[in-house]
Amino acid sequence: MLKFPKTLSIVFCLSLCATPVFAGKLNLGREATKAEIKAWDIDVRPDGQGLPEGKGTVEKGEQVFAEQCAACHGDFGEGVDRWPVLAGGLGTIKSEDPVKTVGSYWPYASTVFDYIYRAMPFGNAQSLSPDEVYAVTAYILYLNEIVAEDFELSKKNFTSIKMPNEKNFFADPRPDTPSRSKKKPCMKNCKKEVKITKRARIINVTPEEDKKTAAKE
């Protein structure tokens, strides 16, 4: 090989060494096993794809919620201190102070299941069984007046749940302010008078600690 004439080695190299590697032909990684996929693939979509086998009643959900969720979210999902509010807020979405909850805002019930199954209870995630998640989801839907008190949520009836705010979501329309070609940015004598209308110092919510640090500067 070392004695290859120059031209030959170039030809040789072009076909082997320097050939750009085609994507997908690197033979990196290994095939995932069914058990591995099952262990991690817990996501649930609005069309029900990904829902595990199982079911749970509002009543059972109330128990689970009282034991595992109410300390932060309150017995009725009203939220303790600054922990998230999960229920109520109906009719507030257009107001000055919208209260976004599962009932007042969330477009899909699958999101409630998916999120609780992967992330709650906070600090002990993925500890609930599918049946417990069905139950607690049913209870949160009940708190939001989406299902009745005697309801049992299951893999079968899941996609029959419709959320009241679903129709109020729409695609991102940005950019939503005029571009340079529509409105040339003004450079000279753009306004006659300027007044201060709002001040952060008056609101005074910048962290205290930082004021101390700032005072040292």
Partner 1 sequence: MTTKLNTPELSRRALLKSAAAGGVTLAASATVTAGATTAAQALEKETKENPITTKQDWNQVLGDGVDANPYGKPSEYEKNVIRRSVPWLTASPESSINFTPLHELDGIITPNGLCFERHHAGIAEVDPTEHRLMINGLVDKPLVFTMEDLKRFPRTNKIYFLECAANSGMEWRGAQLNGCQFTHGMIHCVNYTGVLLKDILAEAGLKTNAKWLMPEGADASGMNRSVPIEKALKDCMVAFKMNGEALRPEQGYPLRLVIPGWEGNMWVKWLRRIEVGDMPWHAREETSKYTDLMENGKARRFTWEMDCKSIITNPSPQAPITHGKGHTVLTGLAWSGRGTIDRVDITLDGGKNWQKARIDGPSLDKALHRFYFEFEWDGRPLLLQSRAIDSTGYVQPTKDELREVRGTNSIYHNNGIQTWHVNGKGEAENVEIS
Per CB under 6 A, residues contacting ligand HEC are 68-69, 71-73, 83-84, 86, 112, 115-116, 120-123, 136
* Dist. CA 136–CA 112, nearest whole Å: 9
Q: CA 77, 83, 85: angle at the middle one, nearest 5?
A: 35
Residue 11: phi and psi, rounded to 5, are -60, -45
Q: Which of residues 71 and 214 has its CB atom nearest to ligand HEC in the complex?
A: 71
Measured CA to CA in angstroms, residue 5 lies from 13, 19, 65, 204 at distances of: 12, 20, 78, 79
Q: Which of residues 1 and 194 has its CB atom nearest to partner 1 in the complex?
A: 194
Q: Which does 8 bind (CB under 5 to 8 A by kind): partner 1, ligand HEC, none?
A: none
Closest approach, Cβ 13 to partner 1, in A, equals 18
- Determine the longest span between alpha carbons in the chain, in angstroms: 86
Q: Which of residues 83 and 96 has its CB atom nearest to ligand HEC in the complex?
A: 83
Q: Which does 173 bind (CB under 5 to 8 A by kind): ligand HEC, partner 1, none?
A: partner 1
* Dist. CA 25–CA 22, nearest whole Å: 6
Q: Which of residues 9 and 92 has its CB atom nearest to partner 1 in the complex?
A: 92
